[in-house]
Amino acid sequence: MHDRRNVELKARDRDPAATLSAALAHGASDEGVLHQRDVYFAAPEGRLKLRVQDGGAQLISYARADAASARLSSYRLVDVPDPDALIAALDASLGIVVEVVKRRRLLLWQGVRIHLDDVDGLGSWVELEAVAPAGSDLSAEHAEVAALRAILHMDDDQVVAEGYAAMILASGAATQRLVDRARTAMDRAYVPYSHFHVGAALRDEQGRLHAAANVENGAYPQSQCAEASAIGVLVAAGGRRIHEIAVMADTELIVPCGGCRQRLSEFADGSTPVHLCGPEGIRRSMTLGDLLPYAFALKSAPE
């Protein structure tokens, strides 16, 4: 199976009726309306979702940069005859991260798919996908997207870097799953000396969740906090930014130590939400800036 490729662009749609009219006036064909449900899973590499829509379902594995511009998406499609069974299996093994439900009007213009989307909780959007044939250097696809962007008046301030899943996650949709992952990690902590179990879970820039526990060592300085362990998991999976944090312990109120606050600040910013949890759930939420108001930062951190 070979990767398929698109050049994609996504933007807020200020006037869906005008966008539709402009596309049709410039020769786009109206292919009708699709009702789609995308279920995203916590894949250890890349991104993975199962799309259920009118008439069938497909498992989609893909990689795409988050950039507010036309960007390359490489993907693979697998037809799924029993989506409910596969969702249950993948949820049990990987975990569901978020679901996106949308009503999509599909238009075709030359080699470009135009998606006029009404997304639950997010409103109206327009998405362009120029499908690239095998061997293309992508110059034609970028040109098609640029031309259509001008036709549809997709200004810079409308274009976004994030996908729908990341936007919904940013609104708090993943918080309970993040807490659940921290709880599971806490239960698995290796703490034969202190018997103090801590779990930490992080959401990265792609919406993936990464969790880990504190790991002690008989040489006490070699022990590792849960937050540091979780950062290592995130980095090993290709993550570079932390967008949400949950830390859990069975104590009055768990807070990251000073060292871990600094570690977290390397990958997050002052507005990043931090949930301080007990076994029953969130006890207090604040920002990383509240926890560490004066984080140390080099002017240019090495890659």
What are the catalytic residues?
A: 227
Identify the H or E element spanning 149. Answer: helix 139-151
- State both tokens at 61: 């594995």
Any bridge partners for residue 41, and if so which?
A: 48, 96
CA atoms within 13 A on the CB side of 55: 2
Q: Beta strand 96-109 with 242-249: parallel, antiparallel or unpaired?
A: unpaired
- Element housing 203 (H / E): strand 198-204
Helix (H) or strand (E) holding 185, with range, is helix 175-187
In angstroms, the CA 146 to CA 160 distance is 15
Find the farthest-apart pair of alpha carbons in the chain and give their distance in angstroms, rounded: 73
Angle 149-151-154 from CA coordinates, rounded to 5°: 40
